[in-house]
């Protein structure tokens, strides 16, 4: 009787271990990949020596809503639109800042609007799109900057909510695969073994 009950518990425990082993290996692979990427160092072999060279860094992108807020604050302080772009771009730096400086300088020299924003990165291009109507119609750019900033933040919140909902659906199967074997092992197996012992099997 006990000789039959013990192998059943061992088999269930082995099934739980085998069922959860891929999750452990996947977690180890992901953590090792993050550790390798976080070092930011690549190995370069030169002749007989091995030299550690820093990985090329990608310039961070600027939040487009933050750019719109900066330009809106400068316009609200009374600065002209070309001057606003130049000042904000110089203080911001990076690809987006350079694009703003280039656009402002082109507009100050009387260049066309499309020429001023040609080749602008995504963050600066959002500013150009928000200011296009105001520049061409001669309207105040402040309300359009605020409206564009609010729209971007609403869209971002909507994307975050949608991603959170999708994540909850995607986690259903892994959580079920982890908790169901544990429920069977800790909840059902002792009951079955107790019934088998009571019935004299």
d(CA 71, CA 131): 10
Report the mean per-residue pLDDT for the chain.
74
Q: Is residue 4 domain-resident?
A: no
Q: Is residue 131 domain-resident?
A: yes
Q: Is residue 68 domain-resident?
A: yes
Place of tokens 């260049």: 111
Reported as a single tens digit per residue, the pLDDT across 71-105 is 999 888 888 889 999 999 998 888 888 999 999 99
3-state secondary structure at position 160: helix
d(CA 189, CA 15): 13
Q: Is residue 184 domain-resident?
A: no
Average pLDDT over residues 141-162: 90
For residues 116 and 103, the answer to whether their CB atoms sit within 8 Å is yes
Reported as a single tens digit per residue, the pLDDT across 36-61 is 444 444 454 555 555 554 554 544 56
The structure's pTM equals 0.55
Q: Is residue 19 domain-resident?
A: no
Q: Tell whether the model's pLDDT for residue 2 goes beyond 50.
A: no
Domain that holds residue 136: 64-151
Q: Name beta bridge partners: 50.
A: 45
Query: How many distinct structural domains can be found in the chain?
Result: 1
Q: Is residue 35 domain-resident?
A: no
For residues 72 and 63, the answer to whether their CB atoms sit within 8 Å is no
Return the pLDDT at 48: 57
């Amino acid at each position: 009787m006990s000789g039959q009950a013990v192998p059943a518990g061992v088999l269930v425990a082995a099934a739980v271990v085998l069922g959860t082993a891929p999750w452990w290996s996947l977690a180890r692979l992901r953590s090792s990949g993050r550790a390798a990427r976080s070092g930011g160092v690549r190995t370069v072999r030169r002749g007989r020596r091995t030299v550690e060279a820093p990985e090329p860094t990608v310039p961070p992108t600027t939040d487009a809503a933050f750019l719109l807020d900066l330009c809106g604050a400068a316009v609200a302080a009374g600065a002209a639109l070309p001057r606003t772009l130049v000042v904000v771009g110089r203080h911001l730096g990076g690809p987006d800042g350079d694009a703003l400086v280039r656009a402002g300088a082109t507009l100050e020299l009387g260049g066309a609007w499309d020429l001023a924003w040609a080749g602008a990165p995504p963050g600066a291009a959002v500013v150009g799109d928000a200011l296009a109507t105001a520049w061409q119609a001669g309207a105040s750019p402040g309300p359009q900057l605020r409206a564009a900033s609010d729209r971007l933040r609403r869209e971002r919140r909507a994307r975050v909510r949608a991603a959170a909902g999708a994540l909850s659906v995607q986690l259903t199967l892994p959580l079920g695969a982890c908790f169901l074997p544990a429920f069977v092992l800790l909840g059902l197996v002792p009951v079955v073994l107790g019934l088998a012992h009571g019935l004299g099997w």
